[in-house]
Amino acid sequence: MSEGRKLRAGLIGLGAMGRNHARVLSGLDGVELVGIVDPAGDVTGTLRAPVVPELGDLLAMGIDYAVVACPTALHEQVGLELARNGVGALIEKPLAQSVEAATRLVEAFEAAGLVAGVGHIERYNPALQSLRLRLEAGELGEVYQVVTRRQGPFPHRIADVGVVMDLATHDIDLTSWVTGQEYTSVSARTVSRSGRLHEDMVAVVGQLTDGTMVNHLVNWLSPLKERSTVITGDKGCFVADTLTADLTFYANGAIDTEWEALRAFRGVAEGDMVRYAIPKREPLLVEHERFRDAVEGKESDIVTLRQGLRTVEVAGALLRSASDGSTVTVGARHTSPAEGAVPTR
C-alpha cells in the first residue's frame, strides 16, 4: 500500500451486526468503506457507502479487504470467493458452521498468503483484556476453574445455527485466550424449547491442558441478559462482567477468625474486594483497528483463522457430546491459544 493511501474496505451483510460494522468502518482512521453487499439494499437510506446486490459488484470496486457479516451458512462460500480474488477478510464468528468448512477457509487464505481473521469480539472487551494481563502476571496464582454464563432473550435474527455455534463460541474462545490453555475434553447437554431446529440451551463441563475445570452455561431462553466470566484460583477470584466491562477481584481472607464453628472449616475466607478502574473503549472499534493494522503489515494481535478453526472444533465436540451423551476428547491445537501475530501480505 502506498504511503498515505487509505485501505479500501468492503462489507458483506447488513444484519444487526453488519450495521455495527458499517458504523465503525465509516469512521475508521486509514480506511474507506467503499461498498456493501446485501440483496435487500439500504432499507434505512442512512449508509454512506453504496449497497450492491452481489459480491462480484463489490469486488469490481477494488478492495483491500472485506468484513464478512452474512449468515454463518454463507461464510465458506463468500470467504473462498474473496480468497480466490486476493482479498483479505475479517469473518464474523463462528468462522464457519462446520469443521470441514472452517478448514477449507483456513487453507484457502493461507495458500493465497492473505491476512484473514475471525471476529471473536470478546478478546477486545476491556474487562477481559485486563483480566488476561493480571493472570499472566500471576495475580491469581494457580487457576482452578473458569465459569462463564451467557444468557438472554431469543435472537430472532439467528436462524442457521444454534446456541452452541452462535453464543458458546464466544466463551470457548475467550476461555482459551484468557488462560492461555487449550481444551482437552468436553461434556455437554443441550435442550431445544423454542420450537426451532437447533438447540437453544447448553450446559458444558470441560477441562483445559493444565487441569483447569471449565463450566459454561449458555442460552437464549432467559429474559435476564447476563455475560459473566468468573475465574477462581488459589489467591481468590476475578469476576468480569462483559456487558459493563467491569472487572472485580475478590481476595481470599488473610485474617484469622475466633469463631470456632468457622475455624473448623479449612477452606478460604472472605478478604478484600477491589473493582478496577480500567479504560473502556468499544471492543468492535478496537477489533477493527487491530485488523486494519494487520492488513497494513504491522504486527497485530488479531484472531487468526486457525484459532477460529480450533473454536469450531471445540464447538463441534460439544454438539457430539450432547448428541450421544459422551465425554469427547479434543485433539491437539493447530496453534497456541495466545498466538495473535499474523504474516503480512
Side chain identity at residue 59, one-letter code: L
Please list, in sequence order, all residues whose beta carbon lies within 8 angstroms of the beta carbon of residue 77, skipping any fewer than 6 positions away: none
For 240, other C-beta atoms within 10 Å of its C-beta total 26
| Residue found under cell 470467504 | 79
As a whole number of Å, the CA-based R_g of the chain is: 21
What span, in angstroms and rounded, lies between the C-alpha atoms of 284 and 125? 9
What span, in angstroms and rounded, lies between the C-alpha atoms of 168 and 190? 12
4-29 pLDDT per residue, tens: 789 999 999 999 899 999 999 999 99
| Dihedral sign from CA coordinates of 271, 276, 282, 285 | negative
Percent of the chain with pLDDT over 90: 81
pTM: 0.90
Q: By three-state DSSP, how is residue 191 classified?
A: strand
283-320 pLDDT per residue, tens: 999 999 999 999 999 999 999 999 999 999 999 999 99
Contact between residue 205 and residue 150 where contact means Cβ atoms under 8 Å apart? no
What span, in angstroms and rounded, lies between the C-alpha atoms of 11 and 21? 8
